[in-house]
Amino acid sequence: FCCSSATTKSAGKCMLDNDGNTALHLAIQAGSLLMFRVLLRNQKVNLNISNKKGQTALDVSRYKIPPGLFNDQKSETKIHFALKVVNARSGGCRRDHFEEKYNQQWKHNEREELEKLKVSTQTLCIGAVLIAIVTFGATFALPGGY
């Protein structure tokens, strides 16, 4: 469980792993929307605890969102949006360091993302052409058949 706002880490009631992550941090890192929802509903969970890197749950969720096209159906995006709605705070990590690490993390996936975008565009184009052909054919079809 995560520390409540009334308890402190020194009291021994806050369960942290070796990196200072709470259960909320770990649920976000795993991308587990179900576990995140359970933890978010619990009023004893403190959303603003920083791990040893100085990252709160909001910071960790920001790292998990890949750059590129916005997809609000992905669990990473839903988690980040939910944390913003409940006014979770950012940690003490500097924004410029965050941006540098974030860009490095996703830079190597850029080629894969471009390939996915290419394939999805081709699929959409084929679907649009097929729909146009069927529509055009239906226009000239005789009612009731031949």
- pLDDT tens-digit readout, 47-73: 888 888 888 888 888 877 766 656 667
State the pTM of this model: 0.56
Q: Does residue 133 sit in the same domain as residue 101?
A: no
The answer on 132 and 83 residing in a single domain is no
DSSP class of residue 9? Answer: G
Specify the DSSP class assigned to residue 54.
S
One domain, residues 16 and 79:
yes
Which among 126, 121, 45, 124 has a CA at the least distance from the CA of 82? 45
CB 18 within 8 A of CB 12: no
Residue 56: phi, psi to the nearest 5? -90, 180
Q: How many CB atoms lie within 10 A of CB 28?
A: 30
